Amino acid sequence: MKPRRRSILAMLDDSVRWTGMPARIADQISGDPDRKHRPMRWLPIWPIAFSCALLMTSLAWPAALEGVSLAVVISVMVGFCGGVFAVIPGISMNGPLGKSSLQDDEREASLRKDSFLCCLGLLAALNCLGQPLIMILSHWQHWQVPQIVSVVTSAFMLNASLLGCLPTLYASWNLPQLPRE
């Protein structure tokens, strides 16, 4: 049997549906809070990975900043910070921990506690190790001001990304998908 030809409008509808945006908007306008705060298993990885990559680049590739003026470094870092900080609140508010903690039941409160405990524990450990390491590296490698600005800003971005995204990531991976009733 010959397949029926689809109209351009039908194909356009399919392409819009394929993006997932209609379903997401339907969830947003529905009154059900559970549908608004869905697990986000992959999106929170991006700001964390980007901040990690930026910090690694600042630490491992100081030659890239040689001859670059402080104003340029500050402008680029402010741009990166703006981008990352624009994404983090969206991830936090739309993730499973996005609703007010006052509305949590005992399972959600326990999940929130575990998520923040994991996140803050990891942040504390990373900062305890990272701060002395950065001080030692800056002393040994005789860092100039642009590199110090770049490393400190990217370390701040990594901290902010972890604080903003890691609890959502932890909670999302600890929420198995439930079949609809």
Q: Does 30 bind another protein (CB under 8 A)?
A: no
Among the listed residues 9, 19, 106, 140, the single contact to another protein using CB under 8 A: 106
CB of 111 to another protein, least distance (A): 9
Stretch of 1-9, 102-110, 119-127, 148-156 contacting another protein, by CB under 8 A: 102-110
Which residues, 6+ apart, have CB-to-CB distance to 130 below 8 Å?
155
Q: Does 31 bind another protein (CB under 8 A)?
A: no
Largest pairwise CA distance in the chain: 75
Stretch of 59-67, 112-120, 121-129, 173-181 contacting another protein, by CB under 8 A: 173-181
In 6-69, alpha helices (H): 8-19, 21-29, 33-36, 45-60
Query: How many residues contact another protein, by CB under 8 A?
Result: 8
Helix (H) or strand (E) holding 154: helix 145-173
Stretch of 23-31, 61-69, 101-109, 146-154 contacting another protein, by CB under 8 A: 101-109
Question: Rounded to an integer, what distance in angstroms lies between the CA atom of residue 155 and that of residue 161?
Answer: 10
Q: What is the DSSP letter of 111?
A: H
Closer CB to another protein, 143 or 170, in the complex = 170
Q: Does 29 bind another protein (CB under 8 A)?
A: no
CA separation, residue 7 to residues 1, 14, 20 (Å): 19, 11, 21
Q: Does 4 bind another protein (CB under 8 A)?
A: no
Question: Rounded to an integer, what distance in angstroms lies between the CA atom of residue 165 and that of residue 114?
Answer: 14
Closer CB to another protein, 32 or 66, in the complex = 32
C-beta separation of 174 from 114 below 8 A: yes
CB of 105 to another protein, least distance (A): 4
Question: Rounded to an integer, what distance in angstroms lies between the CA atom of residue 160 and that of residue 51?
Answer: 9
Among the listed residues 38, 80, 81, 108, the single contact to another protein using CB under 8 A: 108
Judged by the rule CB under 8 A, the positions of this chain that interact with another protein are: 34, 105-108, 176, 178, 181
